[in-house]
Structure 1
């Protein structure tokens, strides 16, 4: 890629599937962009690209839209090594997608949720050489969408909130000192690894979309239902994005 091609990279948070999740700032950024890169993930995940294209169409932008094939992480490698190589590959594919076109202004990417919260797009952008000027336009996060859908305040009064992943929850257990735990990126329903007594869960999938699914209750009562619902939805759509909040000693604290 020519060194002068990519000077400005805009990472625009688009929320979790609803056209209404794009902020006014995000909509203006799309209108002002010269090029928009859209990942094509394959494997039954065409919905994700289609949602991005609907958002682009609704924004009334004149930007050139360029697709690129999104790589799959090598699950045979150790986790951190695999993620590192995966991110390198993604950055190369951004550059390859832009190599055949003239870049005459900002290049935008539509990032699911919020680019600064449990997303690696900013870290991937740091791998580009030469380094472009990066602008982040915040979006509605999955956490915001989940708490709004359940009409749930994220924290208890003066309570500590921890945000973690299913992998961390399985390997390290309940985060020390936390009253409320937000779990993201969990394909294994890791809440089933915790003692269920007094443990409340608020779960959601496809947040903001027409396909949105919600459930909540004591883990001991709803775990099997959530696992079954999740699997059925994944089979139907070919993919699923879900998130949940856990709060321990809920029954005692609510008394």
Structure 2
């Protein structure tokens, strides 16, 4: 039976690899890496650096495939179908990689940024492949240190306050729903449009980070009204310099603003 490890590798810092992750990597014969194009080549480079560091004494193979493009213009009711189409296109690639590149008694692995259970499609895509019943495999999941955990650690703050809930959402949902009632600490991921700007007139602090856990890491914190212009400027400069950006932030509302 083919085996697949889905390995969380942290937010980018090689030191965030857990012993469990390294152990799973060292039991892997084939690593599957989806290439996201020249602009994000350094993401592939970081994965290869981790392999070079921890598997220097053993043989393994790396198989790369081009990640399918997603329709990022789709919004509203079209958003979920567009994501579904993109995941199915990924499933086609995963299915081919597992069937053609992995022997029946071998172990393959996908190295997933952060934690595979938090806003990542790998588990859902593998489940779609399993449901097709064209190639048999077993799989397990190694949790990783998420960008959320790394963000609050870098800012030396907690994720929530005493006895209070915390919500993790996306930029799109934040724009549609605003800050939720009864929740004063909101983590926002996948925000390409800086939706935090809508709350600059409220008593809200922001803890923001881009390229968290990598040498390019950028951190900003403070009252949102003061920090927002600086974040926008740094974000634009970083995107122009690198061609892409991944950022996460925590919005912390004063209880009196509810």
Q: Give the structure-2-normalised TM-score.
A: 0.91
- For the 8 Å contact 2:102–2:108, the answer to whether it is kept is no
Distance of 1:174 and 1:121 partners within structure 2: 29
In structure 2, the gaps of 5 or more residues are none
SS in 2 for 1:45: helix
- For the 8 Å contact 1:67–1:97, the answer to whether it is kept is no
Does residue 1:182 correspond to 2:183, yes or no? Answer: no
Counterparts of residues 97-112 of structure 1 (less than 5 Å): 97-103=97-103, 104-112=105-113
Does residue 1:44 correspond to 2:39, yes or no? Answer: yes
Does residue 1:63 correspond to 2:60, yes or no? Answer: yes
Does residue 1:72 correspond to 2:69, yes or no? Answer: yes
- For the 8 Å contact 2:200–2:228, the answer to whether it is kept is no
Counterparts of residues 121-160 of structure 1 (less than 5 Å): 121-128=122-129, 129-130=132-133, 132-160=137-165
1:205 to 201, 204, 210: 210
Match of 2:219 in 1: 214
Task: Please report the RMSD computed on the Cα atoms of aligned residues, expressed in angstroms.
Answer: 1.6
SS in 2 for 1:119: coil
More helix by percentage: 2
- For the 8 Å contact 1:15–1:140, the answer to whether it is kept is yes
Distance of 2:213 and 2:9 partners within structure 1: 11
Deviating beyond 6 angstroms after TM superposition, the runs of 4 or more aligned structure 1 residues are: none
**1:6-38 deviations in whole A, cap 9, x for unaligned?**
x32110001111110111110111110111101
User: Aligned in 2, Cα 1:62/1:216: closer, same or farther, shift over 3 Å?
Assistant: same
- For the 8 Å contact 1:74–1:82, the answer to whether it is kept is yes
Number of aligned residue pairs: give it: 247
Distance of 1:163 and 1:102 partners within structure 2: 36
In structure 1, the gaps of 5 or more residues are none
Match of 2:27 in 1: 32
